[in-house]
Structure 1
Amino acid sequence: MASTASFNDRFSPAPPPARPEHEPMTAVKTATKADPKLANAWKTKAGGELTEAELLAMPDSEYMNEKQLEFFRTRLQALKDDLLSNAGQTTENLREDTSIVPDPADRATIEEEHALELRTRDRERKLLKKISQSLARIESGEYGYCDETGEPIGLGRLLARPTATLSLEAQQRRELKQKMFGD
């Protein structure tokens, strides 16, 4: 027997669940701001001790205050320290695999692993440069503001990419321009 349900009934995605009227579209941010414990926790904590939720719960009027700058300074410094410790490990890895291997396949595998590790370290070297620039921007008071427009970059973007120097809109414009006109 043929099913009475049409193709669309069987294979179309289910509609998204209905959103209660009292719940705004930015539920995560609003819910975080509505929690009085989080909304005021930043007042009693040092910037380096804040959590991401507490940072996001801060009022917009407090954007890039001393505590937020300290939070990002601590995060960037920890990332920098981690990358620097990894660099020493690379030297050790390259040094210990320098023995002569008679099998060409094994030698090729080792050389490919070395090349991959060197490419990774090169990307990390570039990231270290961006981290140092971001730390300098914190000291100069420019951190958190777009290089092109001067507008706030936004805490969410900075949490995801602490070295960001452009707002999301400015970055999208730059990428579109690069796509249209090349590098």
Structure 2
Amino acid sequence: MASKSAAAKSQTHLPTEKELLAMPESDYMNDIQLAFFRNRLKELEQEILTNAGTTTENLRETQFVPDPADRATIEEEHALELRTRDRERKLLKKVQQSITRIDSGDYGWCEETGEPIGIPRLLARPTATLSLEAQERREMRQKLYGD
């Protein structure tokens, strides 16, 4: 019975970034790490969805402003907010794809090489699908060939 409670406790406790980085390479993409990244991605997904709802409310509440300068300022603020939400919409798709990759067992592994992407890179960019080396090669090809 004690082993069940210990297992339940370990499932509810997510490691810190420091604890994640301290894990041996042999533990790469174990259940604890996958739970950590699933949680991080779910939080990011929720934040993006909340921001989208806030933007919708802000745009609905726009009142008529007679001063042209004030109106222009408000329109510019709305345009900036919409551009930001568009970037977040694209990020949301990547976040959801990353969650699907966790479910399929592909998360944390480079799409091109099959090598580990690495915990530090995933902490910095949890939606990464390429190892740093593969990403650098892709960017170099794009720079050289405009692909």
Q: Distance in 2 between matches of 1:62 and 1:47?
A: 19
- Can you give the 5+ residue segments of structure 1 that lack an aligned partner in the other structure? 1-43
- Can you give the 5+ residue segments of structure 2 that lack an aligned partner in the other structure? 1-8
Q: Distance in 2 between matches of 1:93 and 1:162?
A: 29
Identify the residue that residue 114 of structure 1 maps to in structure 2.
78
Q: Distance in 1 between matches of 2:145 and 2:72?
A: 39
Identify the residue that residue 68 of structure 1 maps to in structure 2.
33
Identify the residue that residue 55 of structure 2 maps to in structure 1.
90
Cα deviation, 1:107-133, whole Å, max 9, x if unaligned, reads: 111111110000000001011000000
| Structure 1 stretches of 4+ moved >4 Å | none
Alignment of 1:34-45 (within 5 A): 45=10
Q: TM-score, normalised by structure 1?
A: 0.73
Name the aligned partner's letter for residue 37 of structure 2: F
Of structures 1 and 2, the one with the larger relative CO (CA 8 A, separation 6+) is 2
Identify the residue that residue 21 of structure 1 maps to in structure 2.
none
Higher Rg of the two aligned structures:
1
Q: Distance in 2 between matches of 1:86 and 1:100?
A: 23
Structure 1 residues 117 and 48, CA, compared in 2 at 3 Å: closer, same or farther? Answer: farther
- For residue 100 of structure 1, report the CA deviation from its aligned partner: 2.2
Structure 1 residues 67 and 115, CA, compared in 2 at 3 Å: closer, same or farther? Answer: same
Q: Is the 8 A contact 1:47 1:70 kept in 2?
A: no
Alignment of 1:117-136 (within 5 A): 117-136=81-100
Cα deviation, 1:38-96, whole Å, max 9, x if unaligned, reads: xxxxxx83375210111111110110011111110011001111111111100111111
Name the aligned partner's letter for residue 27 of structure 2: E
- For residue 105 of structure 1, report the CA deviation from its aligned partner: 1.2
Q: Distance in 2 between matches of 1:170 and 1:159?
A: 17
> How many percent of aligned residue pairs carry the same amino acid?
71
Instruction: Count how many residue pairs are aligned between Structure 1 and Structure 2.
Output: 139
Please tell me the root mean square deviation across aligned C-alpha atoms, in Å.
1.3
Q: TM-score, normalised by structure 2?
A: 0.90
